[in-house]
Amino acid sequence: MRKSAKRIGILTGGGDCPGLNAVIRAIVKTAENDYDIEVVGFLDGYEGLIENRFRTIRLEDVSGLLARGGTILGTSNRADPFNFPVLQGEDYVYLDRSLQAIRNLESLGLDALIAIGGDGTMAASARMLEKGLPVVGVPKTIDNDLWGTDITFGFDSALSTATEAIDKIHTTAQSHHRIMIVETMGRYAGWLALGAGLAGGGDIILIPEIPYDIDSVVDQVRSRNSLGKNFSIVVVGEGARPQGGDMVVKRVVETSPDAVRLGGISNQLAAQLEGLTNLECRVTILGHLLRGGTPTAFDRILATRFGMEAVHMVARGEIGQIVVLQGSDLGSVPIRDVAGKQRKVTPDHPWIKTARSLGICLGNPTNVPLEEYLRN
């Protein structure tokens, strides 16, 4: 039985990724078909809610969106409602615009907001919830680092892109007898580098959770050469760092809630390896390539399920929750439990165990158990 007509808002925050449009499509279709709910989309994440920039999205507007990358609503990773940058003269000042955002939602007669994003968006949403904003979350990030869900949509698509890139790097590595270093995104979590390294046949995988010992990396390269394998593939997450060292910061964006932009560890590693092995190194930084393109079939289905369930949660009055995937089943956890947490690779994760059994170097000495190495 259809419920009385309502209006809900949606926004896409943080970095873009494949599958965002699939979520928007699922929300609109479920809202209209199951509940006769009208959907209003805010442009450029929380920025659009603060500045009252929006558009109504109807069934005809989402036709053909399933396979499209990006987001028709636009997104922003600089729109913290509690620390919103406003240009005054030549300088930015940071203002609390949270109440303005809530007033805009109320003025449009919206019963709830579905916020689609990663940890930054969920952290802002948790604080907005405390201020009285009726919000439901949908987990999105290619980094797969959002706590509470086994996987986020966007990750599988980025993983496929990274794997395809490594596949192509293999042929030139073999032809020129080089060490080829492929750097992925992922920030402070190693899911993308670890998964792509496993799927792409990487010989060395370096992730933020396991600070690497450069001598162990060199030993792996030399061991391969002694066996007649005159090339090596190194997959490194942008947040990887040497033991006792720091992550490489590419730049700092003062107007962003997460100001630090990582990147460039692969160039530092290449210089070290060339000096220690006398082998030529080449670096490929995949960067924003991983955010683009059409979503994989897995991400299309996952994003669609997430979008559908988010609308059902709104209809059931489950405000303040974020939809998650646990195993193969959809569930939900409080947004406040997700905010400020990151899901990282653990030493006992099956992917880590697989890599070790395959003889892949993870940056730790082979004669020291990983758990002991990390303790020290």
Cβ distance 235 to 206 under 8 Å?
Answer: yes
Instruction: Tell me, rounded to whole angstroms, the distance of Cα 172 from its chain centroid.
Output: 29
Give the amino acid at 285: I
Residue pLDDT, tens place only, 172-189: 888 888 999 999 999 999
2 pLDDT higher than 50:
no
Three-state DSSP at 198 gives helix
230-235 mean pLDDT: 95
User: What pLDDT score was predicted for residue 61?
Assistant: 97
Q: Which residue has the higher pLDDT, 138 or 365?
A: 138
Residue pLDDT, tens place only, 111-148: 999 999 999 999 999 999 999 999 999 999 999 999 99
Residue 253: pLDDT band (50, 70, 90) is: low
The residues of the chain that CATH labels 3.40.50.450 are 7-153+295-338
Catalytic residue set:
143
Residue pLDDT, tens place only, 269-294: 999 999 999 999 999 999 999 999 99
76-88 mean pLDDT: 88
CATH fold for domain 7-153+295-338: Rossmann fold (3.40.50)
CA distance 323 to 125: 14
The CATH number assigned to the domain with range 160-290+346-375 reads: 3.40.50.460
What crossing angle do the helices spanning 265-277 and 214-226 adopt, rounded to 10°? 50
pTM: 0.93
Pick from 231-240, 285-294, 362-371: least confident: 362-371
The residues of the chain that CATH labels 3.40.50.460 are 160-290+346-375
Residue 365 tokens, joined:
């000495």
CA distance 184 to 193: 6
Cβ distance 322 to 122 under 8 Å?
Answer: yes
Give the amino acid at 363: G
370 pLDDT higher than 90:
no
Residue pLDDT, tens place only, 303-346: 999 999 999 999 999 999 999 999 999 999 999 999 989 999 99
Q: What is the mean pLDDT of the chain?
A: 93
Residue pLDDT, tens place only, 85-97: 888 888 889 999 9
